[in-house]
A and B are shown apart, each in its own frame.
Chain A
Amino acid sequence: MLFLKGESFGLLGMNRRNGDYLLPNNPRSQYPLVDDKLQTKRKLEEFGFPTAVTYLEITHPFEISRLKLLRRYREFVIKPARGSAGRGILVIGDREGRRVQKTNGQWLRHDELEYHVTNILAGLYSLGGTDDACFVEYRVHSHPVFKNISYEGVPDVRVVIYRGIPVMAMLRLPTKQSDGKANLHQGAMGTGIRLDTGTTVNAVHRNSIVTKHPDTGVSVAGVQVPFWEQILETASAVYPIFGMGYIGVDFVIDVLLGPVILEVNARPGLNIQLANQKGLRHRLDAVDFAGEKVEEWLPAERFAFAKELARL
C-alpha cells in the first residue's frame, strides 16, 4: 500500500505520533505545565535546571505600564506564555531613548511595544486564542560556534525525549527566511545531531536536504555542538519534572550561561527525522523494548542508553 511505504525505514507520521505516542504517554493534566512557558520556567527553576532569567511578568492589561521598567535594559525578549510555533516572540537588541530596535533592525516606538503586549494578552498568539500572559526575559547570546551558520536569531538544540530517554536531536538554525526564528516550518534550517558525539550530520531546509546554510553559505555538517554532554545529561534528567512521555526540549547555548532550557514542547514536530535522515520509530521501539520501567531509570542510565541509540 502506498501509505505504508515509509514504514520500512521507521518514518513516524503525524497520525502515529498523535495516536500511539502523544495520546498514551502525555497525560492531558500535564499539558498546561508545558503549554504555559511561565509555568515551565517556574518548574525548571524549582528543580534547579538552567533557564533564561525572567525580567518581568505581565498578566493583566493594567500592568502594561510596567513595560517602562525595561528602560534599564538594552536587550530583552518579549514572549507570550502560551504562544505556539514561535509566534508573538519579539527580540529586542538595542535601545535609543524610548525607542527599541528589533534584531532585524526595525525600530519600535514604546507604544508599538505596548500594542504588541496587548495583542499577546488578548490571546492573538496563544493556542486556541484564549487570554494569555506575557513575560520578558534575558536575551540569550548565541555561542560563537554558530556564528557562521545562522542568520540573526539564536540557534537552538531540540531534543526529543521518549519515556525519559533522549531519542533524537537536532540543531535548528535561523535563516533570513525564518526572520531569526528557529522554527523549521517558518523557514529555519534543521541539522541532525549524533546523540553520542554531539556533532552535526545532515541538514534540512524547507523539507529538502541541503549541506550549506542558505544565507551564509557555510557548510553545516560536522559542527561540534558545545556542551553536548551537559545538554544530553540535562535532557536525560527532565522526565520526572513534567511526567510526560513524549516531549521535545529546546536548549539554547548562551555564551555566558552555557546550555539553557528555553521551552518544552508537548507536540514535537516530525521534521527532526528529515534533519537526521532517520525515522524515529526504530529508536522509539528500542526504548519500548528496553523494558516496562524505563521511566524509573536513573538519569545516568538514560544518558548511557541515549548514546547507544545513536547507532540505530
Chain B
Amino acid sequence: MKNWRVYLLAFIFILTGLVIFFFKMSKWDKDFRPGQGGALWDVVIQMNYKGRGEASRIRLTLPSTNERQIIYHEDFDNDLDFSTHNHQRTNNRIGYWNSDLLDKSGSVRYSFSVQVRSQQFEIPQEARISTHPENDYPDDIQFWLRSTKHIQSDNPSIYKHLKKIIRKKDKKAAVVTEKIFKYIRGEIKYQSEKGSKDATQTLDALTADCGGQARLFVAFSRAAGIPSRLVGGILLDEGVKTVTHVWAENYIGGTWIPFDVVNNHFAFLPANYLEMYRGDYALIRHMRLESFEYFFVIEHGKIPPADPFFTLYSLPLPFQNSVKVLLLIPIGVLVVTIFRVLIGVPTFGTFAPIILALAFREISLGTGLACLSLMIGIGCVLRIFLDWLKVLVVPRISLIITTVVIMTVGIMVFGNLIGQGQLLYISLFPMIIITWTIERFSVVQTEDGTVAALKIAAGTTLVAMTAYFLMDHPALRFYLFTYPELLLGVMGLLLLLGRYTGLRLSELWRFRELRKIKG
C-alpha cells in the first residue's frame, strides 16, 4: 500500500504546524517577563450613542505598537461602517465609525490587548538646543515648535517666565528640560477640573490638571527651542474608568523622551502608561449625535502577543474580521469530512452545511434555523406547484431563486418593523445554496420519499449546527488567527482521513444484520 507516503506527509504537516506553534509560544514567554515591569492588559473601549437621524461619525484614536508597548488582538464589533486612517503628521492611527443615517441608539466596542513595560529613557546629555531649527530639523519635527491656540509658546508671559527659569548660558536641552520640569512641579498645584486649561491659563491660575500642566511644559519647551508635544493615553488599572491622561515628550538628540510633570516621571514611564495618541487632540470625538458616552473596561491580560513579523495582526484592522471568518472555513470542512468519512451522515450538498453555518453566525442559530426551515418549506410548496404547471427546469429554478430573494427581503422588512434588527442579517444567507437545497429536497422527496428527504435534512442540520458551534467558539477564532500555522495540522488530519478506509460508524448500523450472523 502507498499509505506510508500519506502518513509521512500528514506527519510532516502536523509536525510543522506544531513546531511553529510551540516556537511562537515559547518565544513570547522569553519576551514577556512580568518581574521586569512588563504587564499584559485587556482593554475594551465601549462607546454608547444615540443618533438623531443624521449622518454621524465617531472618531477614536487607536493605540499603536511602539518600543514600549505592543498592541495585539484588536477587535471591533459594531453595526456601523468602520475604517481606519493614518494621520500623516502625527502618525496617529484613527478609527472612524460612520453611518449615513443614525436614528437609533447603539454601541461600538473596540477591544485590544496590550503588553506594556516601564522604561527609563537615556537623555542625550550633550544635545544642544538648536539655534536654527529650520535648518536642523525636518519639517515634521519643526511642526512641534510652533505656537498653537492652546499651547501659546509665543505668548509674552511665557517668555517672561522662561527667562526666570533658565539662564542665558543654558544651551543643553537636557538641562533646560529639567529646569522647566522642576519649575512646573514647584509652582503649579494639581487640581482635577472639568475641561483642561491651556498653557497661559495654567500659568495665570497656578493650578491645573494633567492637561494644563503638560501644555505649559510643552509651551515652555517650545519657547526654549526644544520640539515638544502632548501625548495622550490611559493609565491602566483594573476596573471601569472614563478618565484619560496626558503627558509630554521632548525631542532631544534625535529621540522623543517622555515627561509627566503631574506624576513626577522624569524621562521615565511606568508599566501602566498606555500611549494612545500624540499631539493636542481628544481621544474620542463624535459628530451629529443626540447623546454619547464612553468608558474603558480594563482587566489584566493572560495571553502574550505574537511575534509581530509572523502575525495576521499586522493586517489592516477592518480586514482582520474577514480573515478570521476565512480561517474558520477549514474547521468547517474538517467537521464535514469527519461526519462524512468517519460517521457517514448524509447531507444536501457536501459543503452547503458550512455555508449555512457561516450564515448562522451572523443571524444566530435559532433564528437562522427558523428562517431557513420557513424558506425551504415555502420553496418546496412552490416547487410542487411549478411542477404541476410543467415549467421548464432552468426557469423553474430561477423562479425559486427569485422567490427566495423575495422571502429574504420580506423577512428583513418584517424584522425591521417589529424591531428585530438581527433579522436584517438574513441578507447574508446564501440564496443559491438555499435554492439548490429546496430543489434537492423535493427531488429526494419525490424519488425516495419524505422520510429519506427529512433524514438528509436532519443530517444537513446536524452538520451545520456542529460546524456552527465550533466556528462560533471565540477561543478557536483567536487561536486560528494568532496561530494560523494550526491549519497545517488541519491539513494533516484531512490527509489522514483521506486514507481512512475502515468502516463508517453508520455502516455498523447499516450492516447490523450481517454482524448478528457473523459478529
Give A residues with C-beta under 8 Å from B: 1-9, 11, 13-16, 19-20, 85, 87, 111-112, 115, 118-119, 122-125, 185-187, 204, 207-209, 270, 273-274, 277, 279
A111 and B344 contact, Cβ closer than 8 Å, known pairs A20-B501, A87-B447, A186-B448: no
Q: How far is the CB of B349 from chain A (nearest CB, A)?
A: 11
B519 near A14 with CB under 8 A, answer no
> With the chains together, A183 CA to B173 CA distance in Å?
93
Closest partner residue, chain A, to B448 (CB atom): A186
B513 near A3 with CB under 8 A, answer no
A118 near B511 with CB under 8 A, answer no
A15 near B390 with CB under 8 A, answer no
B390 near A112 with CB under 8 A, answer yes
The segment from B254-262, B278-286, B502-510 that touches chain A is B502-510
Q: How far is the CB of A172 from chain B (nearest CB, A)?
A: 16
B503 near A9 with CB under 8 A, answer no
Closest partner residue, chain B, to A17 (CB atom): B501
B392 near A19 with CB under 8 A, answer no
B393 near A122 with CB under 8 A, answer yes
B393 near A6 with CB under 8 A, answer no
Q: Given A8-B519, A270-B507, 17 more contacts at CB 8 Å?
A: A3-B505, A4-B502, A4-B503, A5-B503, A5-B519, A6-B519, A11-B507, A11-B511, A11-B514, A13-B507, A122-B392, A122-B394, A207-B513, A273-B511, A273-B514, A274-B513, A277-B513
B394 near A13 with CB under 8 A, answer no
B478 within 8 A of A: no
B132 within 8 A of A: no
B500 within 8 A of A: yes
Give the interface SS of chain B, mostly helix, strand, loop or mixed: helix
A204 near B504 with CB under 8 A, answer no
Supply 29 A–B pairs (Cβ within 8 Å), ascending by A.
A1-B502, A3-B502, A4-B502, A5-B503, A6-B511, A6-B514, A6-B515, A7-B502, A11-B507, A11-B514, A14-B344, A14-B507, A15-B341, A15-B502, A16-B501, A16-B502, A19-B498, A19-B501, A111-B390, A124-B393, A186-B448, A204-B513, A207-B510, A207-B512, A208-B513, A209-B513, A209-B517, A274-B511, A277-B514
Contacts of A273 in B (CB 8 A): 511, 514
> With the chains together, A51 CA to B510 CA distance in Å?
33
B499 within 8 A of A: yes
> With the chains together, A127 CA to B515 CA distance in Å?
33
Interface residues of B in 473-519 (CB under 8 A from A): 498-505, 507-508, 510-515, 517-519
> With the chains together, A112 CA to B388 CA distance in Å?
10
A274 and B519 contact, Cβ closer than 8 Å, known pairs A3-B505, A6-B508, A20-B501: no
> With the chains together, A277 CA to B511 CA distance in Å?
9
B505 near A124 with CB under 8 A, answer no
> With the chains together, A270 CA to B507 CA distance in Å?
10
- 5 closest A-B pairs by CB: A122-B393, A16-B501, A13-B503, A9-B518, A115-B390
> With the chains together, A6 CA to B449 CA distance in Å?
30
Q: How far is the CB of B388 from chain A (nearest CB, A)?
A: 10
B501 near A13 with CB under 8 A, answer yes
Q: How far is the CB of B244 from chain A (nearest CB, A)?
A: 60
Q: How far is the CB of B196 from chain A (nearest CB, A)?
A: 69
> With the chains together, A28 CA to B324 CA distance in Å?
37
Contacts of B501 in A (CB 8 A): 13, 15-16, 19-20
B443 within 8 A of A: yes
Among B342, B498, B510, which residue has the most Cβ atoms of chain A within 10 A?
B510
Q: How far is the CB of A306 from chain B (nearest CB, A)?
A: 22
Contacts of A115 in B (CB 8 A): 390
Selected contact of B503 from candidates A11, A20, A87, A187, CB within 8 Å: A11
Contacts of B498 in A (CB 8 A): 19
Q: How far is the CB of B440 from chain A (nearest CB, A)?
A: 9
Q: How far is the CB of A18 from chain B (nearest CB, A)?
A: 8
> With the chains together, A1 CA to B505 CA distance in Å?
11
Contacts of A119 in B (CB 8 A): 393
Q: How far is the CB of B445 from chain A (nearest CB, A)?
A: 12
A124 near B443 with CB under 8 A, answer yes
Selected contact of B508 from candidates A2, A19, A208, A279, CB within 8 Å: A2
A15 near B500 with CB under 8 A, answer yes
Contacts of A3 in B (CB 8 A): 342, 502-505, 508
> With the chains together, A14 CA to B342 CA distance in Å?
10
Contacts of B448 in A (CB 8 A): 185-186
Closest partner residue, chain B, to A10 (CB atom): B518
A15 near B504 with CB under 8 A, answer yes
Q: Mark B308-344, 1 if CB is under 8 A from A, else 0.
A: 0000000000000000000000000000000001101
A186 near B447 with CB under 8 A, answer yes
Q: How far is the CB of B417 from chain A (nearest CB, A)?
A: 38
> With the chains together, A277 CA to B507 CA distance in Å?
14
Closest partner residue, chain B, to A210 (CB atom): B513
> With the chains together, A20 CA to B447 CA distance in Å?
31
Closest partner residue, chain B, to A122 (CB atom): B393
Q: How far is the CB of B96 from chain A (nearest CB, A)?
A: 46
Contacts of B505 in A (CB 8 A): 2-3
Interface residues of B in 396-439 (CB under 8 A from A): none
Selected contact of B502 from candidates A13, A111, A124, CB within 8 Å: A13
> With the chains together, A14 CA to B505 CA distance in Å?
11
Q: How far is the CB of A143 from chain B (nearest CB, A)?
A: 27
Contacts of B511 in A (CB 8 A): 6, 11, 207, 270, 273-274
> With the chains together, A33 CA to B96 CA distance in Å?
61
Selected contact of A274 from candidates B344, B394, B443, B514, CB within 8 Å: B514
A277 near B517 with CB under 8 A, answer yes
Selected contact of A19 from candidates B390, B499, B512, B519, CB within 8 Å: B499
